[in-house]
Chains A and B, each alone.
Chain A
């Protein structure tokens, strides 16, 4: 939408009603990050080793100056050439070890961490493929995509740096404090005073930064959605000359993101400043107190120097905690976003064992089927409200109804893309709610209103409708039924031509015919066709109808129809009105008996609704 491209509620994800997104007052960063454990577990050994290596390497880095000092004070000062050679050798050895350890740490984690990221992404993708359609109806795909890309990169970066260095720096600071207290406990206590205020400030910061980081991530998701829609709706944008208002909408949204990022920077700047200043002030105080103690003769100047150089060496480990915490916080909100999707319930598994054994073919029965969308507002009328319908075995039934009467919804219940809220649907006497989904969907084949082709060859797209056993003959037959063989053969590589988003774009009519071929290729027991001929010209439609009749003879089919020509495919017609089947009969019968039907088919008889 040009003016307001996203849901207006500023914080929170795109679908606040989904997956119990908490406003998160009691979010604990650690608890959230601990959820990463199952993914980190397989690489825990390497991560742990890397941390140890990092600590050892840091210690080596501290040792090298000591060796230098020893060399200068000892062999060099004593003019001892052997000692000099030895010292240089030690230096070289330490240097090589240090270099190798630095590289070793990075080598240890390089593959495992990209592996963790990849595994989390694959799980997200797999999960999303199996979440209910209703979930996808609510979530903009940009929000899902941003979870699978930028959010996971944040998680990987957290595992690579903050996790290790919070540990390494923590150990360094602790060791440093022990050294400081050992050197002079009173001055050491002075340096301990800022710890409590810093911890308080840091925890305040964490909470506030988390909120803003979350907002930024949600806004990236919204931005992704706008970019995606600008491409998917490019014809409308161009057809109405709206690319400027689209760009304006995009600018507003990215302007908001900029504002959020600046708010993040403000918080980060503040915490960084506090973390810089407060310990520095403590060191200043220690310096003054120490100087006075030295003046009073209670402390040696050497001890004070040693004490202060230790304190100064701790400066970086302390200061870096600011951005390490910020990165951890971002990773925590990213993790939270990730698990919002992962925690959503998959389509509940069907209890093992099939429904009542089928006693021979019985066709499709709808018994008191009702449906309302799970997220429909309270009190709104259900879309379907007690549908009773029987499609006899081998019969083709046309489903007719006004715009928005729920025809497509009804067809979606058969392969269980949505679950009926009440009543039951029986296929050959077997309740579909008790059937395993994969088996159900292998029995029922669907051609959707919107013919979607995937990025694959024409042949692969069509053969998707089979169990993988079908080959060239079946493909030819299905293409023939859909009258698609002619244009497919004229494609550059025939049925091997790549189509779909990453291939050749086909016209609406061509795609519709391929979708139809896909639906019939596997000779399904049950066939659901949603207005399958809408985009075809009159001649093609007539030819497809003739061929389709042959197919329909062998199968039980439900065909959504908008026009008399499509209705002609069917043996009987059912009229769907206000959530119920109000009439069933042949086309001619209904034309005579049902005013609504006559109106829908001819536009006459029911003046102006």
Chain B
């Protein structure tokens, strides 16, 4: 961003509503059913593997349950046979036990690995979706959403789903298996008691519903709260110098404590909801058991039930309710994951402001010239909130021309640049590159055509060479160094501890703002675009640095179309043409030498600038 970016411009197209802003509440709307749809689509490719994993688990449970049967067989058949000198049954028991033990271990191994594979594939998919989608969303979106929230979505929220997937499947299958099989056994033993057992599912069902509603709200709050913590944390770490210099530590501690406390509360609330569920469900279960016993005992007394049946039923009753805790754990992970997925779905539901075309058109061959013609054809730009920034503008920049754009803050210079770089699309009209609408270009084609260098020279972690290579990832080391040389950055890069392989670490803490701008230029040189936009890209350079940039534009970038926005008129003077903008309109248009002699804005700016140079 530059000086020229005004308040109205910054009111992002996402239509801010100050009080109930979904961004501030961290509550982007997801279409109804989006959460479920997201979960289904994540699992869609894995149905067969989920089924196999479930089957493995079933067989394993079978092998485990065979133990008691083998004990019974050993005592009933093995002992008498052994006494009779027949060792066969005992050997059979030994082998059977060996088999069951090995099988259950093996299947356990297979299940854990298989489930992890499904789990990790789903998470990989989800992380990728979040990241790719975020990359497509506009700059404006990110300014409002903040890096902290995106971090929260792709770490802590993904983590919630991981918990559900890693334990959920096993829990759910176990729970269903126990409920169904034991309820069936009870019904078979005695329809009356079985019916009571099944009836007890009704209050349990209601309890589960209540728990889900309450836990869902708590987890949504928790997800928002941790995102708030992360946003504050990230902001502090990224601004650690001013934090220190202005002694913000204690105030920050207090602000962080409030956010942290909000998370602590919702976290505790979630655990308490779980505790309530456990108490409630256990109460229902234990009351049902006591009731069934009482009723069964009375029926035995009136001879309508056999004692043996009651004895068996009583043992099964207890086991019927064993899995309700595990059900609780499952619901717990499920609600936590659902809350997180809702947040993720809200992010994924955001429409990219400048969508990439489905049917891209190629640019015509650069015929002779290295630059391309730029045409603004009836371009009007207004934010969705209504603030018009550019009234209708027609402008043609012939291929190879260097155009300087000057004007006061808010004149619309940056908007012009952003429209040309397609950070935004015009509200009306079209921006054309050699006759092709920018909206019809694929991203790679667009970036071969137009590259923008801004004032903020951000360095990604990695080496200096890698940072320059962002301009052209397939560039060789020689090409990278050539670009750095051309811009006069080679000297300082070579002086770094590992030269071009120096890791810039955290946003280049050791590389000065001026040096970063040089690296950003080297990037642009390497990208070798047909149209280069410089939006206040030389602000932190000293005079020699600025001259190096000019030399590079005269030599390496000679013949390119260039749009230069600069406050330093030294850059402007060498332009072929100057546009003076005011309130979104071009008010002066001519060569620098023609404009400087007049009495217009440019002449005034130029005088002020000359004065600032003399000392």
Contacts and interface: CB of A to CB of B under 8 A. Distances in A.
Interface string B441-467: 001101100011111101011110011
Interface in B419-449: 421, 423, 443-444, 446-447
Contacts of B293: 68, 71, 87-88, 91
Interface in B268-285: 268, 271-272, 274-276, 278-280, 282-283, 285
Interface stretch (A93-101, A200-208, A351-359, A470-478): A93-101
A425 B119 CA distance: 58
Interface in A428-454: 438, 441-442, 444-446, 448-450, 452, 454
Contact of B233 (A65, A145, A241, A243): A145
Interface stretch (A27-35, A162-170, A285-293, A385-393): A285-293
B591 interface: no
A601 B614 CA distance: 10
Interface in A270-317: 270, 272-274, 276-277, 280-281, 283-284, 287-288, 290-292, 294-295, 301, 304-305, 308, 312
B63 to A, nearest CB: 10
Given A71-B297, A268-B112, A273-B106, 6 more contacts: A100-B279, A111-B271, A133-B240, A288-B94, A508-B456, A540-B3
A36 to B, nearest CB: 17
The residue in B264, B452, B497, B614 that gathers the most chain A C-beta atoms within 10 A of its C-beta is B264
A507 B260 contact: no
B37 interface: no
Majority DSSP secondary structure for residues of A touching B: helix
A406 B98 CA distance: 74
B267 to A, nearest CB: 4
A538 interface: yes
B293 to A, nearest CB: 6
A284 B307 CA distance: 33
Contact of A404 (B454, B515, B568): B515
A538 B605 contact: yes
Contacts, number: 590
A509 B2 contact: yes
Contact of B93 (A110, A247, A287): A287
Nearest to A588: B615
Contacts of A531: 513, 540
Interface string A580-592: 0000000110010
A223 interface: yes
B542 interface: yes
B179 to A, nearest CB: 19
B310 interface: yes
Contacts of B456: 235, 508
Given A141-B237, A148-B233, A241-B444, A1 B467 contact: yes
Interface stretch (B190-198, B245-253, B554-562, B582-590): B245-253
A411 to B, nearest CB: 10
Given A294-B75, A508-B455, A602 B231 contact: no
A320 interface: no
B523 interface: yes
Contacts of A305: 71, 75
B131 interface: yes
B314 A563 contact: no
Contacts of A144: 233, 237
10 contacts: A76-B297, A88-B291, A125-B252, A125-B253, A229-B507, A240-B451, A276-B105, A291-B74, A509-B3, A587-B615
A85 B295 CA distance: 10
B229 interface: yes
A376 interface: yes
Interface in A452-509: 452, 454-455, 464-465, 487, 490-492, 500-502, 504-509
Contacts of A121: 229, 260
B234 A505 contact: no
A415 to B, nearest CB: 5
A48 interface: no
B338 interface: no
A239 B155 contact: no
Nearest to A100: B279
Interface stretch (A39-47, A258-266, A547-555): A258-266
B100 interface: yes
Nearest to B493: A404
A504 B470 contact: no
A113 B131 CA distance: 32
Nearest to A130: B249
Interface string A390-415: 00000000000011100110001001
* Top 7 closest pairs, chain A to chain B, by CB: A95-B286, A241-B447, A1-B462, A509-B3, A265-B116, A103-B279, A284-B97
Most B Cβ at <10 Å: residue of A109, A140, A502, A567: A502
B105 A117 contact: no
Interface stretch (A4-12, A171-179, A181-189, A329-337): A4-12
Greatest chain A CB density within 10 A among B240, B497, B605 is at B240
